[in-house]
Structures are given as C-alpha cells and as structure tokens.
Structure 1
C-alpha cells in the first residue's frame, strides 16, 4: 500500500521540490507570450499558427490531465512525476531547436503531455505530505503563490531571454529548469513502491474525452479565422458533442471509470471545479493579451514588458500568503467571491486602455488588483476542489482541478481571441491599426471582467454549506475532515 511521502529533509524540502514542479508547468504556459512576435517571424507562423503555439500546450495539458492523475494513482505519483519532468524537459529542448512551425507546435504539445503528468502527481504528493488541517492550507498557499508567480515570471523571464539571446533561449531555460526540478524531486521526495488505487486504466474513456476536448478547442480556434458558420468548425463542434456523449456512456458502464462518481460527490469538488474553469477562462487570456498590448500598442520592448509584470507577480505572492488568513476570518465562500470581484475590478480597469496610454496609468494599478484577486481565488478554489477527497483519488482530484483550469483557459483564449480579432478587423476599417488593436483588447478585458463577476455571484450560491439540523448529530465513527469553513 501507499506510504506517506516523507523525506530525510522533512516536508519543507519536499514541498519546495513539488512547488518547483508546478512553477515550471506554469512558467511554460506564459513564457512564450512575450516572444510570440519573434517566434512568428522565426519559424514562419501564420496568425492562426501563433495562437496554436499557446493552444497546443494548453490543449494537450488540459485534455490529458485526468489520465495523468489516474495513472499517478495507479502506478505511483513519484514515478509518474519524474517521468513527466523528463518528457517535459526533453520537449522544451526540442522546441528550442525547432526551425519549422510544425516542429515547434509538436514540441509544445509534447510539453503539454509531460505537464499533464507533472501537475496532478505533484499536487497529490502535496496532499499526502500535508494531511487536512492548517498545514495543508499553508502548503496550498505556497502552491498558489508559485502557480500565479509562474505565470507572471514567465513574461518577465521571456522578455529578458528573448531580448538577450533570442526566442529559442526561453525553451532551453524551461528545459534546464525541468531537469533541475527532476533532480530535486528525486532527492527530496521518497520513493513509493506502489500506487494508491486498484483497478485498471479506462483507456476508451480517456480516448473519448481527449478527442472531444481536442475537437472543441480546434473548432473554437479555427472559428477565429474561418467564422463560426464554417463547415469545418461546425463539424468540429458536432464531433466534440458526440465524443463527449460517448464519454458519459463509457463512464456509466466502465467498472473503473476515469471519472468516478465518488470523486464528483466528495465535498464541494464539482462546484469548486466549475468555478475554477471560469477563473481559468480568463487566466491564460490575461497573460496573452496584456503583453501583446504592451508590445504592439505601447511599443514596449520584450525586456520592459517582462519587468512590467513584476507588480502583478508581487501581488500574486502576497495574495497567496494572505489567503489562509482570509479564509479563517470570513470563510471560504466570502473569500472566493471577494477575490473574484477584485480580479474583475482589475480587468474592468484594463478595459479602459487606449492606443495612447501608458504603463503607469493603464497597467500598473489594475495589475495589482488582478494579482491579488487571482491568487486568493486560485488557492481557495484549489482547496475546495480537493475537499473531502479519499486518499486513493488524490491524483485524479489533482488532475480534475487542473483540467478545469486549463481547458477553461484554452476555451477562454479561443473565444476571447476570436472576439478581439473580430473587433479589431471592424474598427480598422475607419481607425488606425493601433486604435483597432486597443479596441479589441478592451473588449477582451471587459468580457473577462463580466465572466468573473458572474463567477463571484455563482460562488455565493454554490459554495455555501447547507445548514445541518442540530437534532441529527454526525456519526461518531465518521473520520474528521478539516474542510475550509464558509
């Protein structure tokens, strides 16, 4: 059976290594954003191909996370984490060596496959090292800090490396980081002899849901170029619908389904994942549009664009540190709602950008609001999404919450990029190109703010605990679960 993941150096060293794995995954999500103009000219990408540099990673990551979590539970989380880091590092080096768009996009997809093994296995190991209680809350705060900081740091590091050594260096840096984290995990996270779950792998269900998500995001991305009524786009949506229906039928009949009902019924797992998907739908888009506005409209260099992300990263780390204290004071539901509204306010502020704006006036203030809200919401939604989960499903729970965020992000980016592009094309007919770009970005930020405001209202309705009648005491034999209050 599974043994607790303790190390000779203590849980702190294990947490540092596991947090490093999560940081590396998040870094790879955003580090390419600043370098997109240079990558586009370097390998001859089209406008649609540029989006796929982001989506190839995000789609492979999101579509395979459930499988990654299940494999980690079956084969052992440490082993799967090490294998994922090795693949991730090798794919990063391959991306740096790419001289064609096909090789680059393929390497980014391979990075996503590695990340799909890393993220759920690492989160499950954190849950194992830190049982439910205050220490787990602190560990998830660290997890949230490195997750959000990884996105912001990716923009900074991407700017520095692109301007100094060219776009290939960003992938080499990620690869070196992945191999460094691999060594740390091997040193500080103790070997697990077996997995935690029984049963066999649901290959058919995994194939169905992976292909369904692929068809969905491909259709959304293609719609930006070809239009929503294009035959290939409609066919992709239809295929996604059929495959998702097939996935549901497979799961109902499989003796060991990829997504067991027991997991979805635990605690507030389903509600937390739904809200995480809404948060994710604007998360990746934020780190896509903001650097583009700074470079294409304000004329900032990649280096200055990267430094411009420092206040957001600092606010993110501060918010993650404060999240457990806020939850203890006002409860989980109020914390999630307030955090989402804070981020929505920052995005609404960003929706006022103009072609003649400046960093200090248009970006600095809203970046701080966004960073604070994003970090607190992420920490608490992660906690809700693994609340009350049985030990044998910890890897799968980690895969599910990451799936919700990543697939939500891929869909959100596709929709928002389509919307922004449509607005830009319309405005460019009677205004300058810079004005048209700014108009498109304004709409993307404004819609993002509306999505998060809706999510905050839903959080109040969905995550509040139902009242428990005082006349019906809990069974004395039930195990205690220190879930977040609220």
Structure 2
C-alpha cells in the first residue's frame, strides 16, 4: 500500500499498485510524458461540469432577491431556492458515487449533466416560485451524480503519481475558480435578469455533455459490480442523508433544540443506522463498510467539511459586511473578492507538483494555516475599514489557502482506494464538502443571530460578524493541529526507515 502524507514525493496509486506512482516521473516530480488530445479533452469535459456546479452554487445566491421580487415569494419560501439544491446534492451523493461504480462512470456522468441541464432550463423559464425550488432540487440531484463520477473518471484515466496529481490539481482549480468567480458572474447576469443565472448553465452543461459523449472513453464495469442492486441500502442512506441535510438547513430558523429539529435528527440517525445494518448483511452492499476504515478517505472528508464550511461561511459574512453594513453594490463586492479567483487560477494548476514534492498532508496544513490567519485578520473590520489594509490581506490569504488545501484533499481521498470503488470514495468526499458547508454555515448563522446590540446597532452588527468569524477561526485552528499531527505521524515511519542501517551483503 502506498502512503500519501509524508515529505518527499507523494504516491497516490490505488491499492495493490506499488510502482505506478514512480513511472514517467522525473527527479523533480513532474510527468515526463505530455498529454494528447484525448487526455485534455476528457479533462476539459469533466472540469466544465465541476466548474458549472461550483459557479451555480454561488451565483444563484446573488439572484435570490430578484427572484423573490419577481415571483412574489415569501422570505421563508425563497430561502429554499438555495436550500433545495443543497438538499438534493447532499442527499444523493453516496448513491451517485456508488452508481458510478456499478453502471459505469461515463454513463452516470452524462446522465447527471443532462439532468442538471434540464433542471436549470426549467428554473430559467418558469414563472412559479415552487417550480424554481423544484428545479433547484433536480439540479442538486444531477450534481450529486456528476461530481463523484467526474473525479473517479480522472482517477481511473490518469496514471498514479505526478500525472494524476496534475490532473486533479487542474480539476479542483476549475471548481475553486467557479466558487470564487461565481459572485462576479452572478452579479453581472443578475443585472440583466435573474433568469440568466439558470439559462447560462444550460449552455455550459450542453457543451460538457457533448464533450463527454465524444471524449470520455467507455469504462469496463467489473463483473462483481454487476450483481443485484442494493435497493434497501439506497433507500435508507438517501432518505437518511436527505433528512440530515434538511435538519441542518432548517435548524437556525426552527431552533437547534426544538422538538421538530430533534425529531428530524433522530429520524435521520435511525435511517443511517438502518443503512449500516443493511450494508453489513447485503450480498452486494451499496457501501462496503470496510471502506470507512480507510483513514485517508475519512480524514479527507473531514478536511473537506472544514474547507468548504469555513470558506462558504467567510463569503457569507464578507458579503453581509460589504453590502449590508458598508453599502457596497453586488458588483463592487464581486470585484473585492476577485483576487481569490485570480490567485486560485494561478496556483491551482501547479498544485500537482507541490503535492508530489511535499505530500498531501503538509499541503493541507499549509492551507489551513493560511485560512486561520485570514479569518483572524478579518476580525479587524469596523464600520470604516479600508480595503487595501484590512480586507485585501484576508482575501489574498484565502486565494493562497484554497489551491493548497482543495486539490490535496481530493488526492488524499482517492489514495489507496481500488478502481472499482473510486466513485464511492468520491461520493464520501463530496458528502464531506456539502454537509460541512451546511453545518458550519448553520452554526455561524446561529452564532451571529445572538443579540449583539449592546454597543448600538452598527457595533452590534459588527459584533455578530466577529462572533461568526471566531467560529471559523476555531474550526481552522483545530484542523491545523489535527492535520499537522497526522502529517508528523505519517512521516515518522519513513524517517525511521531512512535512518535504519543498511544490512551487510
């Protein structure tokens, strides 16, 4: 089994392949063989889908106020334009990941992109608020099938080692750029009409679909994956995840300790427990429970939760601060966040070389040191903070942190996982991202909602923002400590092996 967290060249080959990571690698850890049209075409196709998902996640949030005004939706109803997408995505991720392994990654990817396009088209042409919410839910389901299939397509089509690290770096760069530029694109499209935030993704999805049909090779499904489908497992895990995400999304409004919230949480846990029982007895389980003993995968999923949870929450707090307290327009706020996207675009394509040189765990540690510093620096905000000296330093640090940590988490998650379980591993990782985003943002929102009006309205609002930022600092700092400990422990066996005397011949 290869390791993936020590200093020096990182190997990320699947279980049972000890030599793949060293092939075609030079002394500097770079791939010696250039990619052809097929490799680049495949990568562009799956990257387009990931970019689209990330972009849509952000830009539709900006379109919510115009949607509410145009369709006459209540505040309680319009928040489901965002929440229904998270619900569909988070609820169906594990199912989407396993389906990629069972019926073919290419097929699941293409179906997911097509479903996303149909949902986006419906959302862009309807005049009914309920149909917009339903369309967003359908889009979330499409993304739940596309995301794990896309990552597993890359893992199984690029050789382990520097080439795979490079491909994953480019792939995650596209997602990161989508997250960071969604504010700008969403602001520009909303100036025309909120409907374009739904209709533009249709064009991108169709392009990704055509590219996928043309350039993604057909994959061979292993014989043991063609067995009977685990219907009971699929029903229990999907229902359990749907209820879990629903409870987290609704808890800030209904109360974390309200009878309704506790009941939904209890029902979710009961369904997930039933799923565990079903999987332990199924002849062809949807999730092989032994996969959850893979520390690299579980650790990467927890890191993913911290990455997207703190990053999305920072954008939420930053957006409120700049637009609500400072009175900036959506486009001014978008331009303020633009350096994040520029730095991600510059650094992320090179993350593969950095991973090969330093190892995934040290990359994650470095990323979260930058996150922690960014959130600490943003605590300096006041009612008249200057952009260059107070706001921009935090923006720049996030632009550095994201391309260090995001690709590394993806590489770590798929290390030491057999090819026929790559889709499921990607689903577990993506579940970490989505549930983490929902949970951390819900905790931040609840913390900000506590009465902070002791020093006046403006000061009270700032105190609420700072309270939410302290949650982000705490999550990031804990992640730094835990990942640093894991990195040191992973490096210890290698160091001991290097220091051991060479036996005489």
Same fold per superposition (TM over 0.5)? yes
Quote the Cα distance in structure 2 between the aligned partners of 1:363 and 1:176.
35
User: Please, which of 481, 484, 491 is the counterpart of residue 460 of structure 1?
Assistant: 484
- What corresponds to 1:82 in structure 2? 110
Contact (CA 8 Å) 2:42, 2:216: kept in 1 or not? yes
Quote the Cα distance in structure 2 between the aligned partners of 1:40 and 1:244.
35
Quote the Cα distance in structure 1 between the aligned partners of 2:222 and 2:96.
13
User: Please, which of 69, 89, 94 is the counterpart of residue 41 of structure 1?
Assistant: 69
1:145-176 Cα offsets, whole Å, 9 max, x none, are: 1111010121110011111x121111111122
User: Please, which of 467, 471, 477 is the counterpart of residue 447 of structure 1?
Assistant: 471
1:168-202 Cα offsets, whole Å, 9 max, x none, are: 11111112211121112122212346467343332
1:386 and 1:67, CA in 2 relative to 1: closer, same or farther beyond 3 A? same
1:46 and 1:319, CA in 2 relative to 1: closer, same or farther beyond 3 A? farther
Segment drifting more, 267-276 vs 342-351:
267-276
Residues 313-324 of structure 1 aligned to structure 2 (within 5 Å): 313-324=341-352
- What 5-or-longer segments of structure 2 have no aligned partner? 1-34, 501-505
- What corresponds to 2:12 in structure 1? none
- Length-normalised TM-score, structure 1: 0.88
Contact (CA 8 Å) 1:63, 1:407: kept in 2 or not? no
Following superposition, the deviation at residue 256 of structure 1 comes to 2.0
Contact (CA 8 Å) 2:112, 2:142: kept in 1 or not? yes
Please say if 1:185 is aligned against 2:202.
no
1:293 and 1:103, CA in 2 relative to 1: closer, same or farther beyond 3 A? farther
Segment drifting more, 366-375 vs 45-54:
45-54
Following superposition, the deviation at residue 111 of structure 1 comes to 0.6
- What corresponds to 2:456 in structure 1? 431
Residues 5-84 of structure 1 aligned to structure 2 (within 5 Å): 9-84=37-112
* Alignment coverage as a number of residue pairs: 461
> SS in structure 1 opposite 2:493?
coil
1:65 and 1:281, CA in 2 relative to 1: closer, same or farther beyond 3 A? same
Contact (CA 8 Å) 1:298, 1:358: kept in 2 or not? no
1:87 and 1:103, CA in 2 relative to 1: closer, same or farther beyond 3 A? same
Contact (CA 8 Å) 2:92, 2:144: kept in 1 or not? yes
Please say if 1:168 is aligned against 2:192.
no
Quote the Cα distance in structure 1 between the aligned partners of 2:350 and 2:337.
20
User: Please, which of 235, 242, 256 is the counterpart of residue 270 of structure 2?
Assistant: 242
Contact (CA 8 Å) 2:162, 2:356: kept in 1 or not? no
Please say if 1:338 is aligned against 2:355.
no
Contact (CA 8 Å) 2:86, 2:245: kept in 1 or not? no
1:253-304 Cα offsets, whole Å, 9 max, x none, are: 2222222134334472222222222223223323333333322222222222
User: Please, which of 135, 141, 154 is the counterpart of residue 163 of structure 2?
Assistant: 135
What is the RMSD computed on CA atoms of the aligned residues?
Answer: 2.4
> SS in structure 1 opposite 2:66?
helix
- What 5-or-longer segments of structure 1 have no aligned partner? 1-6, 474-486
Contact (CA 8 Å) 1:319, 1:373: kept in 2 or not? no
